[in-house]
Structure 1
Amino acid sequence: MPNDPQRFVFVLFDGFSNMVLASALEPLRAAKGLPNGPGINWDICTIDGAPVISSSGLIITPQSALPKISNASNVDYLVIVSGYGMRDHATAKVRARLQNAAQHARNIIGLDTAAWILGRCDMLRGRAATIHWQELDQFAEHFPDIAVSHDRFVQDGKLITSGGASTVMELMLHILAQQFGPAVAFDVSNLFVYDAENQYHLTRGADRLHGSGGDDLRRAVGAMMSSIETPVPLADIAKKAGCSLRTLDRIFQNNLHMSPGKYYQMLRLGRARDLARATDLPLSTIALQTGFTSSATLSRAFSKTFNTTIRAIRAIRKIQ
């Protein structure tokens, strides 16, 4: 999986859905904050840099206009977000600027009704795409040269389209898994969708595990979460998950591409980082609360994983 930082540029149009934007942006924020979280950066902009108003009346002041951001450096994901009024947004000025920005983007994403704008920009000709379910029929009628799909999200080359909020979160989890590994997507989905320990049996939510051993994995993660302060042997974790230790290792490797021991340590180090950021607890206390035998043991594991120290993290917090 690539380790290079991924840059997302969001382009908002009047009438966008707060829920769609949150479903796209919050998974990125959560992933960045994970233990050993990936490098992710994002910008919020509009075509001309003017404030934009959502469908519920929320006004957002962007960081910049699209041309300034897109010309500054390459963009990994250019994310177009529109809701109501998309038929009126694709003016000649908008089409020209989006087409120019697309030249700087490795991937182009259209969320909610943005596929309509991408269609008007002639970016989807001969490609498969989807849109919010309420607009599917009109979209197909208006753009006969686009293979309109009812799938939750569609990727055709560098063009990616999705519908409403639940499908957007599913798409973002898919991108996180694709770019940074399934463990990142799994952890982010736990934060937003379900509690791994108590709701592992449910099938709701965007990032359901479809591979074999999904239920066992969730039980194992739940057991790990509940024993961060007093770590238990992996054999006990496997027993609580209802499988053998060998099976547990295979399940973690297949689903999260890491060993259960490594994942367990990442949970404990993540808790240590949270405590370092949010409290003034002595290092020895943090080590005790995260299951490390000593401050020195915690410090070595922390530095190796995060390429920084708890002291450095606290120094940044004091400056801020």
Structure 2
Amino acid sequence: MDPHRVVVVGYDDAELLDIACVTTTLDAVRQINPDLGYDLALATPGGGPITCSTGLVLNGQAVLERVRGPIGTLVVSGGLGHADAARDERLVGHVRRLARESERVASLCTGASVLAAAGLLDGRRATTHWHFAEQLAASYPAVRVDPRPIWVQDGNVYTAAGVTSALDLALSFIEADFGPDMARWVSRAMVTYLHRPGNQAQMSMFTAAPAADHDTVRKVADHIAGRLDADLSTEALARLARVSPRHLTRLFRAHLHQTPGRYVRKARVTSAAQLLSTTDLPVARIAARCGFASAEALRQAFAKEYGIAPSQYRSVASRT
């Protein structure tokens, strides 16, 4: 098995960023140290060019049907053409064949549907772009779809949420293959300040869509974001909004699909994550600033949201 041979599977209407994020990140190893690096190839049906969803054309470097193992990492790109690709029995069959000859198998974004069609995700936990998660789960009930993380590893199969999360997955491969120092150098070369752990959430209050276009909900959400260390109980927020706690809960469920209490907890944990990765403040001070009663309260909430302790999250950030 050649651990550093990487084959990326592309098809028409693939997402260019999915392909570029992983290939450019992996190729940075060679640029940093010419004695190291990956053997990268874009394999396409028939070896011909593919038209990405942006309209840009990429030339294939290998004929998918003729590619043989051993392969270190097989990567299936995502994109708007994923549904057609998953219905293409020949393409899916070759992905299934190559997976048997690969040390690692990965999908980016909606490329998970191709792995699922090949049966490679049956019984496994997997992720995809949050917008397509319900569709993937409905189409492939044998797959345990988790829309929250930016990437997931289950055995030797990796699935990523797509676009920039492909960069994080590629960095994790580099760390496994060449060590944390190389991953740190590559992350600096890519001008990404944080090599995010796979269980970091895809969405947060800072990256999700703006609060619903409802005056009361928007007013309360703005209040929460600016006063995380204040009394943000549902009763206190209801007084601010001049409605009953029950009515405020109904409004939040209708417009933000969660209770006020859940929204507050997520806002506080998200803010704590930012402070952990961008400051040297002690955990106790971060807890107080974000409205937690103690460092232990922060630890419990953080572990529930991200699956790791605040100290471990900070340790990951400090490596980059």
**TM-score using structure 2 length:** 0.59
Residue 124 (structure 2) pairs with residue 123 (structure 1): no
User: Equivalent residue for 2:173?
Assistant: 175
- Asked whether the equivalents of residues 3 and 71 of structure 2 are also in contact (C-alpha less than 8 Å), the reply is no
Tell me, in whole angstroms, the C-alpha distance in 2 between the residues paired with 1:139 and 1:65: 28
Deviations 1:196-235 (A, max 9, x none): xxxxxxxx54458x9x99979xxxxxxxxxxxxxxxxxxx
Counterpart among 137, 140, 150 of residue 140 in structure 1: 137
Q: Distance in 2 between matches of 1:190 and 1:215?
A: 18
Aligned to 2:104: 107
Within 5 A, what are the aligned runs for 1:1-320? 6-35=4-33, 38-69=36-67, 71=68, 73-90=69-86, 91-149=88-146, 150-194=148-192, 205-207=194-196, 255=319
- The 1-side partners of 2:158 and 2:110 are apart by 12
Give the whole-Å Cα distance in 2 for the aligned partners of 1:49 and 1:174.
29
| Rounded Cα–Cα distance in structure 2 between residues aligned with 1:28 and 1:215 | 29
Report the Cα offset of residue 88 of structure 1.
1.5
Q: Secondary structure at the match of 1:82?
A: coil
Instruction: Return the alpha-carbon distance in structure 1 between the equivalents of residues 196 and 185 of structure 2.
Output: 10
Q: Report the secondary structure of 2:108's partner residue.
A: strand
The aligned amino acid for 2:16 is: N
Partners of 1:112 and 1:34 in 2: CA distance: 28
- SS of 2:25's equivalent in the other structure is helix
Q: Which moved more, 1:36-45 or 1:56-65?
A: 36-45
Point out where structure 1 has 5 or more consecutive residues left out of the alignment.
195-203, 217-250, 257-320
Q: Distance in 2 between matches of 1:9 and 1:24?
A: 11
User: 1:181 deviation in Å?
Assistant: 0.6
How far apart are the structure 2 equivalents of 1:28 and 1:142? 32
Q: CA deviation at 1:82?
A: 2.4
- The whole-number CA distance in structure 2 between the counterparts of 1:23 and 1:37 is 22
Please tell me whether the aligned partners of residues 49 and 65 of structure 1 are also in contact (alpha carbons under 8 angstroms): yes
- Tell me the distance in 1 between the aligned counterparts of 2:141 and 2:196: 32
Counterpart-to-counterpart distance in 2, 1:255 and 1:136: 31
Structure 1 ranges of 4+ moved more than 2 A: 35-39, 204-208, 212-216
Instruction: Look up the SS of the partner of 2:164 in the other structure.
Output: helix
Q: Deviations over 1:59-97 (max 9, x none)?
A: 11111211322x2x4000011112002112122212221
Question: 2:180 and 2:19 mapped to 1: Cα distance?
Answer: 23
Give, in whole Å, the separation in 1 of the partners of 2:48 and 2:17.
21
Q: Aligned partners of 1:109, 1:213: CA distance in 2, in Å?
A: 27
Identity %: 27
Residues 131-168 of structure 1 deviation map (CA, whole Å, 9 limit, x = unaligned): 11210111112222111112110111111110121211
Match of 2:288 in 1: none
TM-score (norm 1): 0.59
Alpha-carbon distance between aligned partners in 1 of 2:21 and 2:33, rounded to the nearest angstrom: 21
SS of the residue 2:14 aligns to: coil
CA contact (8 A) 1:77 1:107 kept: yes
Unaligned runs of 5+ residues in structure 2 are: 198-272, 281-314
Change (3 A) 1:206 1:16: farther
